[in-house]
A = this chain, B = another copy of it.
Amino acid sequence: MTNVAAKRPTINDVAEVSGVSRGTVSRVLNGRANVSLAAELAVRRAVAETGYVVNRAARSLKTSRTGSIVMVLSEPQERLFEDPNFSVLMRAATNRLAERDMSLVLMIAGDAGGRDRVARYLRAGHADGALLISTHADDPLVEAVERSQVPAVACGAVLGRESVIPYAAADDRGGARLATRYLVDQGRRKIGMITGPLDTPGGALRLEGFTGVLGRKVTKRMVVHGDYTQSGGERAMRELLESFPELDAVFVASDLMAAGALRVLQAAGRSVPGDVAVAGFDDSALATATSPMLTTVRQPLDRIAEETVRLLIALLDGEEATSVVLPTELTVRDSA
């Protein structure tokens, strides 16, 4: 520590200490090829000695790239925050980005005001890319993002924009098939379903998987729509018990809703899995906290998150970004 400067060291200080020009320092810092080994070494030493850290604002001003990407949460009904899944996404994104020395900024676009802020943020070029979470089919945000021209990917398909916004997602349809088939194999014949909102992939595709297996046997009264909350799950289960009282199994599109359903079933005097088998979706921490523990479809959220970030980085690097769908598997516990 030769130099205990009051000011933060700039590239000029590094240049001076290392005895080369600013330009050369910059080249070293950015890994450009045309630098002699001697120069590189001198610069590295000077960087260490001065404790130099690049000033992103200055770099950004010059390059018009910001070194940050924005994670946009559209969550009309706050569901995400009740959902532990989301945390997993964020941690994976942060880590992956950190490797590239990029940072993650978080924005919530729950209402018109929030969407507007996101739109302005993007238009102002404050982020190099956008990572969309739980975006609904008709969310006006999508248009704003597209208009901003900022590279964007989604975690989970944005229904209707699958071909324009690359995404990584679980095989919702396949997972639902897995669970449904399992219930059938257990000898269940009167299987109901509680879905998620139909304008989300988890809502629409899990229902498709369900009906795909059961075919025309599925009638309207056997399917109720929930909203991914626990109380929504309770409400839906009550409704289902009303419209389809003879049911001997339910496939529920999320663990949180399944926890609600479980509670209602037990309150109604139906034993689980004795009278009614219950299968969930997610395999979140909740699945082992309920009693009985949930049989549920595990989706590899950590990998989904990583893939989503990988796609975005590919996009930033000007590469092709092809959506990926990751396989799910059934975790059999006690509820079915």
Chain A residues with CB under 8 Å of chain B are 8, 51, 53-58, 60-61, 64, 66, 68, 78, 80-84, 86-88, 90-91, 94-95, 98, 103-108, 114, 117, 120-121, 123-126, 230, 256, 259, 262-263, 266, 285-286, 288-291
C-alpha spacing A124/B60, complex, angstroms: 14
> When the two chains form the complex, which single residue of B86, B104, B117 contacts A87, counting CB atoms closer than 8 Å?
B86
Q: Are A263 and B285 in contact (CB under 8 A)?
A: no
Q: Are A82 and B230 in contact (CB under 8 A)?
A: no
Residue of B nearest to A258 (CB): B289
Q: Are B55 and A58 in contact (CB under 8 A)?
A: no
7 further A-B contacts with Cβ under 8 Å, apart from A81-B90, A82-B285, are A53-B123, A57-B64, A103-B105, A103-B126, A230-B289, A259-B289, A263-B288
> When the two chains form the complex, which single residue of B53, B56, B288 contacts A230, counting CB atoms closer than 8 Å?
B288
C-alpha spacing A135/B256, complex, angstroms: 29
Q: Are B288 and A124 in contact (CB under 8 A)?
A: no
Residue of B nearest to A287 (CB): B289
C-alpha spacing A290/B285, complex, angstroms: 12
Q: Known contacts being A60-B57, A81-B87, A87-B86, is A68 close to B124, with CB within 8 Å?
A: no
For A256, the chain B residues whose CB sits under 8 A away are: 285, 289
Residue of B nearest to A54 (CB): B124
For A289, the chain B residues whose CB sits under 8 A away are: 230, 256, 259, 263, 286, 289-290
- For the complex formed, measure the closest distance between the CB of A194 and the CB atoms of chain B, giving whole angstroms: 15
Q: Are A107 and B103 in contact (CB under 8 A)?
A: yes
- For the complex formed, measure the closest distance between the CB of A273 and the CB atoms of chain B, giving whole angstroms: 14
For A68, the chain B residues whose CB sits under 8 A away are: 105
Q: Known contacts being A57-B57, A124-B8, is A80 close to B87, with CB within 8 Å?
A: yes
Residue of B nearest to A122 (CB): B53
For A291, the chain B residues whose CB sits under 8 A away are: 262-263, 266, 290-291
For A104, the chain B residues whose CB sits under 8 A away are: 105-106
C-alpha spacing A120/B121, complex, angstroms: 25
> When the two chains form the complex, which single residue of B87, B98, B126 contacts A56, counting CB atoms closer than 8 Å?
B126
Q: Are B55 and A125 in contact (CB under 8 A)?
A: yes
Q: Are B108 and A105 in contact (CB under 8 A)?
A: no
For A94, the chain B residues whose CB sits under 8 A away are: 106-108
